[in-house]
Structure 1
Amino acid sequence: MKGLLFDLLFYAILIFACIYVLPNYVIQRTIVDGSSMADTLMDGENLYVEKLSYRFDRLDRYDIIVFYPYGRDNTEYYVKRIIGMPGETIQIIGSDIYINGEVLEEHYGKEPIADPGRAAKPITLGDDEYFVMGDNRNISKDSRDKYVGNVSRENIGGKVIFRVTPLNRFGPID
């Protein structure tokens, strides 16, 4: 009888961990809504977002993150790429992104930037702020938008690590 109770308790804890702990604190599935990250991520793709390590380790430039632009109390989230890191100064002149006065050499942007938005003037990021952009720069609502702005670390939900579907694009996100 003790063995049965122990087994029941063990499986109850395991089920609780799988249903509650994993999706809320470790890894979560999310769906891309829109084409602001095309061609890297396409509308409707299923992704896994890792929600734990970024809390203890730093995020890197070009990481793709999920964040809550209007705070964690709002369920709306965006999926974007980190362009600017804490403490850096960002400015967009023409189609070039400048970080601390130097042109950022990157190949993620789908096309030349048509509207620099608020980054037409230099933006200095705080100690816990990131500047994010979609890869499809001309349709992306991102840190260039005054309503989205800089992304504070506390509003980051996790780092995109894996694409589940469609199966022909299955695999890690780099």
Structure 2
Amino acid sequence: MKKYLSALVFALIAVFFSACLPQPVLVEGAAMMPAFNNGDRILMDKNLGELKRGEIIWFLYPKDRSKSYFKRIIGLPGETIEIREGKGYINGQVLDEPYVDESYNQAKANYPPRKVPEYQYFVMGDNRDNSSDSRYWGTVDKELVKGKYYMTYAKEKE
């Protein structure tokens, strides 16, 4: 009996730590350049709290939940997002995006005004010319969000 109790306590401790500690994740692809490069290793905080514009989140891809992506939150629930000539607008106001490097964003595509549904987020990669994101497959439900960026612990050499 004591043996089973010890195993149960160990399992509960393991579950507690796996739920609370940041999770290491490997970055694959160039969609978040220059913030992350292909091969960077980052930690994602699974304790979400309130999600804010500009935060980088890790989520299950809405069209295929066997895949996960990293993107930056651009639009919050209830906001109207629009893109005109490559510039983002929230509720008609131009969005300040200091994290976007214009050398990675030459296309000046448009996206018509759309309201972000409740409990949903409009996300985009920082490398806008090479990112599959909410512009193409829609918003991300909060239930699909698995973590938010905590820190980079290993940068891939460029």
Instruction: Report the counterpart of residue 9 of structure 2 in structure 1.
Output: 13
Instruction: Report the counterpart of residue 143 of structure 2 in structure 1.
Output: 154
Residue-by-residue CA offset, 1:26-72 (whole Å, 9 max, x unaligned) = 331111000110110111111111112x2xx311111000011226x
Unmatched 5+ stretches in structure 1: 169-174
Instruction: Report the counterpart of residue 114 of structure 1 in structure 2.
Output: 107
1:44 to 21, 24, 39: 39
Query: What is the rounded CA distance, in whole Å, between the counterparts of 1:160 and 1:136 in structure 2?
Result: 17
Q: Which amino acid in 1 is paired with 2:118?
A: D
Scaled by the length of structure 1, the TM-score of the pair is 0.77
Aligned partners of 1:115 and 1:138 also within 8 Å: no
Instruction: Report the counterpart of residue 75 of structure 1 in structure 2.
Output: 66
The percentage of counterpart residues that share the same residue type is 35
Q: Which amino acid in 2 is paired with 1:64?
A: I
Instruction: Report the counterpart of residue 142 of structure 1 in structure 2.
Output: 133
- Give the aligned length: 152
**Shift of residue 21, structure 1, vs aligned partner:** 4.3
Query: What is the rounded CA distance, in whole Å, between the counterparts of 2:123 and 2:10 in structure 1?
Result: 37
Q: Which amino acid in 1 is paired with 2:9?
A: I
Q: Which amino acid in 2 is paired with 1:44?
A: G
Q: CA RMSD in A?
A: 2.4
Aligned partners of 1:36 and 1:139 also within 8 Å: yes
- Structure 2 residue matching 1:13: 3-state secondary structure: helix
Unmatched 5+ stretches in structure 2: none
Kindly indicate whether structure 1 or structure 2 has the higher relative contact order, using CA contacts under 8 Å at least 6 residues apart: 2
